[in-house]
Chains A and B, each alone.
Chain A
Amino acid sequence: MPGTRHHAKVEVDEVSRTEGADMLHNAARRRLNISGEEFLDRWDRGYYDDTDDPAVADVAMLIPFAR
């Protein structure tokens, strides 16, 4: 890419499954006031299938981090 510099200020960090589950739990608690475990249970049961709440999407995006 001519005329530009690659900046090394944005590093990459791969977290463990345990750390990822903590991330999801923290997001579920903050956005929905439930535990990460409860969120995953609700997600798997289809509880959120018809929801329009952006907060649910915010937490659901972290599912690959947790399992």
Chain B
Amino acid sequence: MPGRTPREAVEAFLTPLQDTLSCVAKAKITLSEGGYTTVGRVHGLTLNRNEAVKPKGAHHLLLRVQMQYEIVPVDEPGRDPWRVTTRAYNHEVQNSSGEGVVSYHWHPQSRVKDPHVHLGHTQLAKDVVLHNKLHIPTARLSLEGVIRHCIEELQVKPLRDDWDPVLATRKADFEAFRKWNQSPPAPTVAPKPDAKNKPRRPGKRRSL
């Protein structure tokens, strides 16, 4: 949702996340320096300074949330001039030992630029087709969808009685304001320093 100032736009971005997360955890959102006001750079967002939170539930699961976002100008006349756009997400449900159960990824700076999930090695048998580095394509996922999945499918216990309408409302907000669903826009990433001199790591490149 837009805002009259960068800070207002970030607060509008954070409020739905706070509501969503409050459905399953008592946690603190951590922003990188300048995350409320600095325009023209990508900011980081995680929980509890990148420590997984511990929702209640039968499986004693952990949840780690990571996002990157940027404060950008709104190019629509008559709208508030600033909004926040997500640049990447990387959420993971972990077992009680901190090992991955399922990961929800969109990190377009990497080789695989579309949204996908990974299955944790803890959930896979040996000598099977699937492995934890396999990228399983998905549409763009919202944090609201991930939290709902945790509650409805992974037996995470909600902390508030109104979790269902909260997640439904916040997901509707997300869908109203997102700029893409299936195919993300081409990443606008500055070239890395010294990109011409890149000693490659030896080994085979796996192709899909």
> What is the chain A residue whose CB lies nearest that of B70?
A64
User: Least Cβ distance of B123 to chain A in Å?
Assistant: 13
The count of A-to-B residue pairs whose CB atoms sit within 8 angstroms is 144
**B26 at the A/B interface (Cβ < 8 Å)?**
yes
- Asked whether B103 lies within 8 Å of A54 as measured between CB atoms, the reply is yes
Known pairs A3-B162, A58-B92, A65-B44; A12 contacts B192 (CB<8 A): no
Known contacts: A14-B36, A20-B32, A61-B88. The answer to whether A43 contacts B22 by CB under 8 A is no
The answer to whether residues A7 and B160 also contact, given A27-B50, A52-B133 and a CB cut-off of 8 A, is: yes
CB-defined contacts of B31 to chain A, threshold 8 Å: 12-15
When the two chains form their complex, are residues A13 and B29 in contact, meaning their CB atoms are under 8 A apart?
Answer: yes
By size class, the interface of chain B is: 35 or more
Q: Are B198 and A52 in contact (CB under 8 A)?
A: no
> How many residues does chain A have at the interface if contact means C-beta atoms less than 8 Å apart?
41
Which residues of chain A have C-beta atoms less than 8 A from B26's C-beta?
Answer: 9-10
- What residues of chain A lie closer than 8 Å to B49, measured between beta carbons? 13, 15, 19, 23
How near does chain B come to A23, taking the closest CB pair, in angstroms?
5
Instruction: Say which one of B54-62, B104-112, B149-157, B175-183 lies at the interface with A.
Output: B104-112
User: With a CB–CB cut-off of 8 A, which chain B residues contact A7?
Assistant: 18-19, 22, 160
Known: A45-B194, A58-B66, A62-B46. A15 touches B19 (CB 8 A): no
The reply to whether B132 and A54 form a contact with Cβ atoms under 8 Å apart is yes
Residues of chain A whose beta carbon lies under 8 Å from any beta carbon of chain B: 1, 3-7, 9-17, 19-20, 23, 26-27, 43-54, 56-58, 60-65
